[in-house]
């Protein structure tokens, strides 16, 4: 199993009390799955994916990644996993404004130890795969929101990570642009990539094979939502 969480509990210190953000989360995700995580604001979605993405290791319960116990790792080992095994996509893209599109996409390769001279074909292929061939020289603010999100997807896939985490990837985009971005995720899924997408948008969530719903830090649904109410648009 790629990702296996057992009885994860997460508390935040809040003044003299604790606030429990995740309760007894048990979850297994296999390679190639396309999973959406839904739930109201404050349900614990970002808290959960921060744990899954090795950003937060301050919890109880067990997390086994590809057979390795994440909670027993040193900070360096966790950072290594973060840099090479997971790609992140954010609502507000988080591109570095003074680096070109090419340099933004190249950066994770350099962090992973590649030399500058060997990155060009890899970066160009990633940009082409998101429909942005010949855009490498531009700066992020010279692109539309949808194009910036494509750049951030290229950056997320550049190291061929085991899985991709996207937290509200269409939250800042209009509905037409959201559909374009969802097509890219569908195509990554067809290529066998493992995807975890957090979203408020049912249309986005329903594109996934598997939908997980969180409420008050608990999983209240995990499966396919097949008999949802009909769309009204
Ligand atoms: N650093 C923190 N300190 C204290 N409480 C926190 C902290 N981070 C998150 N929380 C609380 O944990 C709960 C879950 O937060 P989380 O960010 O995971 O929600 P979410 O489902 O991602 O919401 P949204 O849809 O608004 O992004 C919330 O009640 C939030 O206030
Ligand atoms: Mg969130």
Q: Sketch the domain layout of the chain as residue ranges.
A: 3-97+157-223
Give 143-150 contacts, CB < 8 A, sequence gap 24+: 143/101, 144/177, 145/93, 145/172, 145/173, 145/174, 145/177, 146/173, 146/177, 146/180, 146/181, 148/93, 148/95, 149/89, 149/93, 149/173, 149/177, 149/181, 150/181, 150/184
- Are 87 and 157 in contact by the 8 Å Cβ rule? The answer is yes
Mean pLDDT of 18-23: 96
For residue 173, name the pLDDT band (cuts at 50, 70, 90): very high
Q: How many of the other CB atoms lie within 10 Å of CB of 30? A: 12
Average pLDDT over residues 126-150: 96
Is residue 189 very low, low, confident or very high in pLDDT (cuts 50, 70, 90)? very high
Q: How confident is the model over 170-189, as a mean pLDDT?
A: 95
Cα angle for residues 207, 179, 51 (degrees, 5° grid): 55
Strands 34-38 and 194-198 come out as parallel
Cα separation of the two ends of the chain: 38
Are the C-beta atoms of residues 150 and 184 closer than 8 Å to each other? yes
| Per-residue pLDDT at 87 exceeds 90 | yes
Nearest CA to ligand 1 atom 19: 42
What would the mean pLDDT of 139-167 be, rounded to a whole number?
Answer: 97
Is the model's pLDDT at 71 over the cut of 90? no
- Residue 14's pLDDT is 87
Task: Select from 11, 37, 44, 169 the residue to mutate for testing ligand 1; criterion: most ligand atoms less than 8 Å from CB.
Answer: 44
Using DSSP, state whether 137 is helix, strand or coil: coil
Under the banding of pLDDT at 50, 70 and 90, the label for residue 112 is: confident
Nearest CA to ligand 1 atom 1: 12
Grade residue 226 by pLDDT with cuts at 50, 70 and 90: low
* pLDDT grade for 227, boundaries at 50, 70 and 90: very low
CA dihedral sign of residues 67, 72, 77, 81: positive
Instruction: Please give the helix or strand (H or E) that residue 203 lies within, else none.
Output: helix 202-205
Split at pLDDT 50, 70, 90, the class of 5 is: very high
Protein residues with CB under 6 Å of any ligand 1 atom: 12, 14, 19, 21, 39, 41-47
Q: What is the mean pLDDT of the chain?
A: 94
pLDDT band at 232 (very low <50, low <70, confident <90, very high): very low
Q: CB burial class (10 A; 0-12, 13-18, 19+) of residue 82?
A: middle
Q: Is the pLDDT of residue 151 over 90?
A: yes
**Which element (helix H / strand E) includes 129?**
helix 120-129
The pLDDT, as a whole number, for residue 15 is 87
Task: Say how many Å lie between the CA of residue 42 and the centre of ligand 1.
Answer: 5
**What is the CATH number assigned to the segment(s) 3-97+157-223?**
3.40.50.300
Inform me whether the pLDDT recorded for 230 exceeds 60.
no
Ligand 1 center–CA 46 separation, angstroms: 7
Query: What torsion, rounded to 10 degrees, do the Cα atoms 204, 43, 150, 97 define?
Result: 150
pLDDT at 225: 52
Q: Whose CA is nearest to atom 25 of ligand 1?
A: 41
The angle formed by the CA atoms of residues 95, 104 and 192, to the nearest 5 degrees, is 95
**pLDDT interval class at 83 (50, 70, 90):** confident
The SS3 of residue 10 is: strand
């Amino acid at each position: 199993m790629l990702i296996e969480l057992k009885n994860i509990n997460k508390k935040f210190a809040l003044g003299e009390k604790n606030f429990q953000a995740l309760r007894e989360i048990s979850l297994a995700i296999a390679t190639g799955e396309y999973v959406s995580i839904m739930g109201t604001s404050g349900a614990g979605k970002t808290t959960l994916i921060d744990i899954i993405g090795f950003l937060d290791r301050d919890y109880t319960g067990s997390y086994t990644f590809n057979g390795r116990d994440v909670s027993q790792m040193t900070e360096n080992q966790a950072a290594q996993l973060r840099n090479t095994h997971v790609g992140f996509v954010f609502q507000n893209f988080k591109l570095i404004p003074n680096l070109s599109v090419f340099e933004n996409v190249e950066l994770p390769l350099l962090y992973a130890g590649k030399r500058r001279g060997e990155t060009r074909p890899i970066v160009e292929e990633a940009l082409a795969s998101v429909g942005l061939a010949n855009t490498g020289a531009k700066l992020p603010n010279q692109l539309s929101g949808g194009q910036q999100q494509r750049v951030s997807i290229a950056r997320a896939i550049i190291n061929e990570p085991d899985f991709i985490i996207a937290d509200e990837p269409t939250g800042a985009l209009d509905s037409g642009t959201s559909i374009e971005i969802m097509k890219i995720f569908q195509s990554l899924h067809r290529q066998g990539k493992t995807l975890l997408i957090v979203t408020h948008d049912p249309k986005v969530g329903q594109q996934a094979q598997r939908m997980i719903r969180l409420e008050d830090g608990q999983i209240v649904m995990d499966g396919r939502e097949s008999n949802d109410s009909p769309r009204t648009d």
